[in-house]
A and B are shown apart, each in its own frame.
Chain A
Amino acid sequence: MSDVFTSAAFSRRDFLKTGGALIIGFNLCGASLGQEEVDAVAFAAGPDQPDSKQLDTWIAIHADNTATIFLGYVELGQGSSTALLQIAAEELDLDMNQVTSVRLDTNRSPNQGATAASASIARGGPRIRAAAAEARRALLTLASKQLKAPVERLTVSNGIVSIVEEPKQSVTYGELLGDKPFNVPFTGTAPLKPISTYKIVGARVPRNDIPDKVSGKYLYMQNVRVPGMLHGRVVRPRGQSAYDAGAEVLTVDESSIQNIPAARIVRRRDFIGVVASNEWDAVRAARQLKVSWNPIRTLPGNAGVHERMRAAKTNDLVLKESGDVISALGRAAHTVSHTYHGPYQSHAPFGPACAVADVSAQSALVMCSTQNAYETRGQLSQVLGMPVGKVQVQYYEGSGCFGRSCYNDAAQAAAIMAQEVGKPVRVQFMRWDELGWDNYGPAHLAEVRAGADASGKIVAYEYRGWQHVWSTTETSQQLAQGTPPGESDDGVARQLNKLNLGSMYDIPNVRLVNHRVPGINGYLKGANLRSPLDISFSFASEQTIDELAYLAGIDPLTFRQRNMTDLRWLGVLNAVGQAAGWKPRKAASRSSDSNVVTGRGIAVGTHLSSYAAAVAEIEVNKGTGQIVAKHMYGALDAGLAVNPGFIENQISGMLVQATSRVLKEEVTFTNTNVTSLDWNSYAVLRFEESPEVTPIVIQRMDQKSTGAGEEALCSAAAAIANAFFDATGARLREYPMTPNRVLAALGRARSDSKKLSFQPSTTQDTVSQRA
C-alpha cells in the first residue's frame, strides 16, 4: 500500500497556510491519470476569421514593449483571462503589466470553440504557451541580428533582450517589432521553458478585472450602449410551458399600452417584443401589454416529473459493463438498493441576460455574453436570414451564467427587434424571463444497487439513470420562425458520467445504464448547468457508497480509502480529511435526542477531469427540518494550478453554490407553466445561510492543467447528504433537502425503526445486512 494512505505521509508534506486556505504541493511521479483526457480540439477558421496557423492571430508586440494576446476564450468571472496571460507572460519573459488581452470577437479572435467544460486553461493554455514560445523565438532571432550575437548568448527579462556577458548591449521587443506583424507561421515547434524555472505560472497574481469591477468602471454587457439605440423587452407568458409547446399567441390588445405612446410592439409570429427609446417605457409596456396565450397543459408538474421519466419509453445505452453485477450482488455480505430524485434547477444568473444588436440589410453586429460566440453566430444567421460571414458576434462579460442560460435567447431577441425596427436595440431580460425561460439543468432519476463483502470491499455497483438531453432551439427562434424544437445528441455531460459513477473505486463488477428520456414533449427546456447532472449523480452514488460503509461498520473516509488505489483520488480524499480534522468513527454513531443535532459527511467526485473531495459539517433542527451547512471543506487536484488563488476562489464558490443547490434550489411548475419566477419562488442560499469554507488546492507542477471551474460541486453536495445521515440516522434520497422533506425523512426513519422491531422492512427500498 502506498504511503499516501498513512497520516505520517501527510505530516511530511508541505502544508502552506495562506489566508485561511491550504495549499499542498507535492510531486506524484508515475501517478496513473485514470481519467479521460479533454483533448485539445482544433477549430478551422470560419469566414472572416483570422488564420490560426499564423502567429499574428495570437500575439501582437507593440512599440511600447507590451504585448496583446488574442484569446479564444471568454472571461466568465473565474479569472481565466488573467491566468492565460500568466502563461503568455511566463513564456515570453514579460511582466504581467506588459500583457493585455482583447475581448473575443468572431472577426478578430482565434476560433477555439466554446468556453465550456472548464477547459479554458486545459485547452487554451497549451496553445497560448506554444504561441508565446514561438513569438519569443522569432523575437530572439531578430535580436540576434540586431545585437550581432548568437541566440544562445541572449537572455530576456521584462521584454528586454540583452547579451549575457554584456548586459548593456540590449534591445526591447518593442524596438524589434513595434506594432509590425511577425509574418511567421505558428508551427508549435518552439522549445518551451522548463517548468522548474516558472516564476509567474503557479503564482498568486491578482486578477486584472477586479479594480474596475469594484469601482463601477467595468464594462459589463448590461452597461453597453450604442448611439441611437432603443430599449427592447420580450413579452411572453410568465414561465415556460413544455418545450414543444413554445407559446402560441391568441390575441394582442394593442390598446392596453396606449398610455405609453412611445412604445412600439414588435411581432414575428409568436415572438412579441416592445421597443422604446426610454427604457422604463419599454419595461412597463412589456409588463402592461395584454396578450392572451393558448394555455398548454402537457407538463407533469414538478412533483410528477420523475414518475413520467420512469414510465417513458427511453433510449437505453449500457455505458459500462464489467464482471457480473447480479451474481456479485447475490454473494455480497451487505447490499443497498435505492431510488434517488434530482430536480430541474436554473442557471439563475444574478443579472439577467442582455444583448445589443445592430442589424442592417447587409450585415449584423451582435454584442452579448455567450459562452460560444460561434454557436451564437450560426443561430443568428438563421434568425436573421443572413450568411454566417455577415454576422459578427462580440463578447462582453455579463453576470456569471454557469452554462447555457438565456444568453443566446436574448441575443436573438435583440437581433429580431433590431431587424424589425431598423435601429440598434438593447434587450435585457426581466427576472421572470430569465428564471421562467431558462434552459434548465435537467431533472434526474437514479436507481442504484451496490454490494460489499464482509471485509468492506465493494464488489458490485449498478447505476441506472434517467434524464433528457439538451434543447437546441432557443425560444426566440422557436417563436419567431416556428422552428421545431430540437434536441442534442447523447454524449458527455448529457448522459451518465463514467468518471463520477463508481470509477474512483476499484470495483470488479460494474454496470452503468443510461436511460435517455425523450425530452421534447412534456418536459422543460434543458441545457448544461455547471457540472451538468453531476450533483444528481453524486447525490445518489456517494450516498450509496456511504451506506455500504455504514453496513460494513467502517468509517466513511476509511471505507473509501480501502476501496481506492488511484493516488490522485486518494490525494484529494486525504487532503480534505486532514483539513477537516477527520477522526475515524462509524456514521450516525453520535445521533442524539436533542432537537438540534450535528453531523459530518464526506464524498468524492469530479466533472470531466480533475479530482475533488469534500467534507460537510452541518446542523439539523429536527423540529423545523432546517439544515444549516456550518463548514464546508473542498480539495481539488486540477494538475498544475496556474494560479492557486483563482482555484481557491472557484472551490469556495462551488462549496457555497453546491450548498445552495442541494438544500434549496428547485424549479417549480404546474401542468401549464414554470412558477419559480423570482428570488422568493426560486430561492438560493443567502448570506446568513452561508457556510464557512476551507478550499484546498493540490498543486501538481508535474501534471497537465485540467478543469477547476465545476469539479468540486458534486462532492460538496453529496457530502451534505451524507452529513445529514450522520446527524440524524435518516437518509434523504431526494433533493433539494428542504425542511418539508427533512421532516418527512425523519418521520419515515422513526416509523421504520418501529417496524423493524417487529419484522423486517418490506418497502421497495431495501437495506439488507447479512451475517
Chain B
Amino acid sequence: MASELKIEVNERIWTISATPGTPLLYVLSNELLLDGPRFGCGLAQCGSCSVLVDGIETRSCVTPVESLKGKSVTTLEGLPTWYAKQKGLSRAPTFHPVQQAMIDEQALQCGYCYNGMIIKAAELLSKVPQPSEAQIRSAMNGHLCRCGTYPRVTKAIQRASQMVLEVNK
C-alpha cells in the first residue's frame, strides 16, 4: 500500500505517496513532473535516468524512493542551482557549465541520453576539475549513447572543465 514520505529534490522537500520499493524515477516523472531523468532500461545499465544523490551519480530506475530519507537529490533541472551552491555563486547560472558546453559543442543528436551524460559529467568535474581524456572515458563508460556522440561529449566535458576553472579564478 502506498505510504506518505518526504524526499528532498532540487533543494525542496516534497511530500509524496508511493508504494515502498517504487523506484525514484517514477516519482520524479509522475509526481514531481521532472522530465530530465527518463526511462532507458530499468536495469541500471544505460544511465538515462541518472540523478545526483548527495552529489553521487545514482540510477533512479533502481533506487527505491524510501532509501532517500535524509538525502538530497539533484536532477538535471536542479543542476545550475547545485553548481552555484557548490561554487558559492550568488546566483544560479542559466546552465551548468557542462550543459553550456554541450550547447557550444553542438554535441547531441537525439539527446535522449544527455540527462545521464550531463549528470555524470557534472559529478566528475565536482571531484576532478581537470580530468584527463582517459579519466573522462572511464568515468563516462557506464553511459551509453546510441547516436554515437561520445567524441563530442568528451570535447564538451573538456570545454566545461575550462569553464569551471575560470570560475575558480
A215 lies within 8 A of B45 (CB): no
Is residue B40 contacting chain A, with contact meaning CB distance below 8 A? Answer: yes
Of the residues B19, B41, B147, contact of A400 by C-beta under 8 Å: B147
B102 lies within 8 A of A220 (CB): no
A214 lies within 8 A of B148 (CB): no
For the complex, give the distance between the alpha carbons of A218 and B76 in Å.
12
Q: Which residue of A lies closest to B143 (CB)?
A: A687
Of the residues B36, B39, B41, B149, contact of A652 by C-beta under 8 Å: B149
For the complex, give the distance between the alpha carbons of A692 and B153 in Å.
12
For the complex, give the distance between the alpha carbons of A705 and B59 in Å.
42
Q: Which residue of A lies closest to B133 (CB)?
A: A692
Name the interface residues of A245-286: CB closer than 8 Å to any CB of B.
278-281, 283
Is residue B48 contacting chain A, with contact meaning CB distance below 8 A? Answer: yes
* Chain A residues, Cβ within 8 Å of B152: 649, 652
* Chain A residues, Cβ within 8 Å of B18: 280
Given A223-B35, A679-B43, CB of A350 within 8 Å of CB of B150: no
Given A400-B109, A400-B110, CB of A428 within 8 Å of CB of B77: no
B39 lies within 8 A of A351 (CB): yes
Q: Give the number of chain B interface residues (Cβ < 8 Å).
A: 55
A280 lies within 8 A of B22 (CB): yes
For the complex, give the distance between the alpha carbons of A430 and B42 in Å.
8
Q: How far is the CB of B136 from chain A (nearest CB, A)?
A: 8
For the complex, give the distance between the alpha carbons of A525 and B138 in Å.
36
B40 lies within 8 A of A350 (CB): yes
The 8 A CB mask of B137-169 against A (1 = contact, 0 = none) is 110110111111111110100000000000000
For the complex, give the distance between the alpha carbons of A735 and B47 in Å.
28
Given A399-B112, A649-B109, CB of A214 within 8 Å of CB of B102: yes
Given A206-B103, A219-B35, A656-B151, CB of A687 within 8 Å of CB of B141: yes
* Chain B residues, Cβ within 8 Å of A693: 151
Most buried by B among A77, A213, A217, A691: A213
Q: Which residue of A lies closest to B76 (CB)?
A: A216
* Chain B residues, Cβ within 8 Å of A649: 106, 109, 149, 152
* Chain B residues, Cβ within 8 Å of A213: 108, 111, 114
A350 lies within 8 A of B19 (CB): no
Most buried by A among B36, B42, B114, B147: B147
Is residue B58 contacting chain A, with contact meaning CB distance below 8 A? Answer: no
A223 lies within 8 A of B38 (CB): yes
For the complex, give the distance between the alpha carbons of A206 and B104 in Å.
9
Is residue A211 contacting chain B, with contact meaning CB distance below 8 A? Answer: yes
For the complex, give the distance between the alpha carbons of A178 and B102 in Å.
37
* Chain B residues, Cβ within 8 Å of A39: none
The 8 A CB mask of B79-101 against A (1 = contact, 0 = none) is 00000000000000001000100
Is residue A714 contacting chain B, with contact meaning CB distance below 8 A? Answer: no
For the complex, give the distance between the alpha carbons of A20 and B155 in Å.
10
Q: How far is the CB of A738 from chain B (nearest CB, A)?
A: 18
Is residue B113 contacting chain A, with contact meaning CB distance below 8 A? Answer: yes
B35 lies within 8 A of A217 (CB): yes
* Chain A residues, Cβ within 8 Å of B144: 350, 679, 684, 686
For the complex, give the distance between the alpha carbons of A278 and B102 in Å.
34
B106 lies within 8 A of A207 (CB): yes
Of the residues B75, B77, B103, contact of A210 by C-beta under 8 Å: B103
Q: How far is the CB of A634 from chain B (nearest CB, A)?
A: 11
B118 lies within 8 A of A214 (CB): yes
Name the interface residues of A196-226: CB closer than 8 Å to any CB of B.
206-207, 209-211, 213-220, 222-223, 225
For the complex, give the distance between the alpha carbons of A507 and B114 in Å.
46
* Chain A residues, Cβ within 8 Å of B113: 350, 399
Is residue B53 contacting chain A, with contact meaning CB distance below 8 A? Answer: no
* Chain B residues, Cβ within 8 Å of A283: 26, 42
* Chain A residues, Cβ within 8 Å of B40: 350-352, 399, 431
Q: How far is the CB of A708 from chain B (nearest CB, A)?
A: 12
Given A214-B118, A400-B146, CB of A352 within 8 Å of CB of B39: yes
Given A214-B103, A400-B110, CB of A653 within 8 Å of CB of B45: no
* Chain B residues, Cβ within 8 Å of A660: 148
Is residue A393 contacting chain B, with contact meaning CB distance below 8 A? Answer: no
For the complex, give the distance between the alpha carbons of A685 and B141 in Å.
10
* Chain B residues, Cβ within 8 Å of A351: 38-40, 48, 112
Is residue B68 contacting chain A, with contact meaning CB distance below 8 A? Answer: no
Is residue B34 contacting chain A, with contact meaning CB distance below 8 A? Answer: yes
* Chain A residues, Cβ within 8 Å of B148: 652-657, 660, 685, 690
Is residue B5 contacting chain A, with contact meaning CB distance below 8 A? Answer: no
Of the residues A216, A430, A654, A679, contact of B46 by C-beta under 8 Å: A679
* Chain B residues, Cβ within 8 Å of A690: 137, 148, 150-151
Of the residues B45, B95, B111, B145, contact of A678 by C-beta under 8 Å: B45
* Chain B residues, Cβ within 8 Å of A218: 35, 111
Given A214-B99, A652-B148, CB of A222 within 8 Å of CB of B39: yes
Given A350-B110, A653-B149, A678-B41, CB of A211 within 8 Å of CB of B103: yes
Is residue B50 contacting chain A, with contact meaning CB distance below 8 A? Answer: no
The 8 A CB mask of A55-90 against B (1 = contact, 0 = none) is 000000000000000000000111100000000000
* Chain A residues, Cβ within 8 Å of B36: 215-216
Given A215-B76, A350-B146, CB of A653 within 8 Å of CB of B109: yes
Q: List the 5 closest pairs (A to B, CB-CB), nearest first.
A: A656-B148, A77-B110, A216-B36, A213-B111, A400-B110
**A77-B109, A653-B149 given; 20 more Cβ-contact pairs under 8 Å:** A20-B155, A77-B147, A210-B111, A213-B108, A223-B35, A225-B30, A279-B30, A281-B19, A350-B110, A350-B113, A350-B145, A350-B146, A399-B113, A431-B43, A431-B45, A649-B106, A649-B152, A656-B148, A657-B146, A692-B151
9 contacts between A and B (CB under 8 A): A77-B109, A206-B106, A219-B35, A350-B144, A397-B110, A678-B41, A678-B43, A684-B144, A686-B141
Residues on B facing A (Cβ under 8 Å) = 2, 18-19, 21-23, 26, 29-30, 33-36, 38-43, 45-46, 48, 75-77, 95, 99, 102-103, 106, 108-115, 118, 137-138, 140-141, 143-153, 155
